Structure formats: C-alpha cells, structure tokens
Amino acid sequence: MDSKEFLEARQRLGKTQKQLAELLGISIKAIHSYEQGWRHIPSHVERQVFFLISRTRANDKDIKPCWVVKKCPPQRRKHCPAWEFQAGKLCWFINGTICECKSQKNWQEKMNICRSCEVLTSIL
C-alpha cells in the first residue's frame, strides 16, 4: 500500500487522521507520515485498513469465496486455511492460504497476488 492508497482508504472509511489513528492503535503522526509518504506503511497496518474497508460493505453476499473464484480442487482446499476456517471472503487477510497453487512466503508476496484477485478487488 502506498501513501495515495492509504489516504484514499482513510477517506473511504470517512475517518479523520485522529479517528483512524485511534482505530489502528497508532499515533496521528504515523498516519500523517504514511499519507505524506515519509514512512513505509507496515503490513499489519495495511492488513487492518483492508479489514476495516471489508467490513463497510453494505451487502457482501455478491462476493464469492476464494475457492469458487479460483476454482480450487478439493485436495487443495483441504490444505488451505481459508477453507479450514470458512473464510473465503477474507482469504486475503489470512497468511498461509494456497494462492497460485502454493503458500506465499510473506505478506508482500501474498498481496502481490491478492491485489489482482477478484476477492480483494471486489472489496476495494
């Protein structure tokens, strides 16, 4: 997530810098620094922001679970935490999901895949 995306997310949430700082448990100065591009946005902050946005959808019934979108075979589903916890609409939030037929090593690798996936893009 870059500074522009972060600012757009805050505006989409309808929060001031102070309100978002309180929601995220960080300082207003950190929020300002993220929006100005002075500081890198940590993965845990990015994850929380995406989660908050995902919860603002009025009707998420039109969002399909990831295993439907990706047409995952039963054998792959069996080993995926999104399937295990029935969190197919929040697969982007869970580490260790088997996207692109393998588990990703870190958050950045995972988000590179998730940003082009219908599950996350339908939320954003």
Looking up residue 32, the CATH number of its domain turns out to be 1.10.260
| Residue 59 confidence (pLDDT) | 56
Domain of residue 7, residue span:
3-54
Return d(Cα 77, Cα 7) in angstroms, integer: 35
Asked if residue 92 and residue 78 are part of one domain, the reply reads yes
Domain count, the chain: 2
Count Cβ neighbours within 10 Å for each residue of 72-99 and write b for 16 or more, e otherwise: beeeebeebebbeeebbbbbbbbeebbb
Asked if residue 66 and residue 48 are part of one domain, the reply reads no
Average pLDDT value for residue range 22-38: 97
Asked if residue 37 and residue 7 are part of one domain, the reply reads yes
Confidence of residue 83 (pLDDT cuts 50, 70, 90): very high
Average pLDDT value for residue range 21-41: 97
| Residue 119 confidence (pLDDT) | 87
Average pLDDT value for residue range 8-30: 96
**pLDDT tens by residue, 85-123:** 999 989 988 988 888 878 888 888 888 888 888 888 887
Asked if residue 38 and residue 9 are part of one domain, the reply reads yes
| Residue 99 confidence (pLDDT) | 83
**pLDDT tens by residue, 44-80:** 999 999 999 988 865 567 788 999 988 999 999 999 9
CA distances from 113 to 7, 14, 24, 29, 89 (A): 22, 27, 24, 31, 15
Q: What is the pTM of this model?
A: 0.81
Asked if residue 73 and residue 49 are part of one domain, the reply reads no
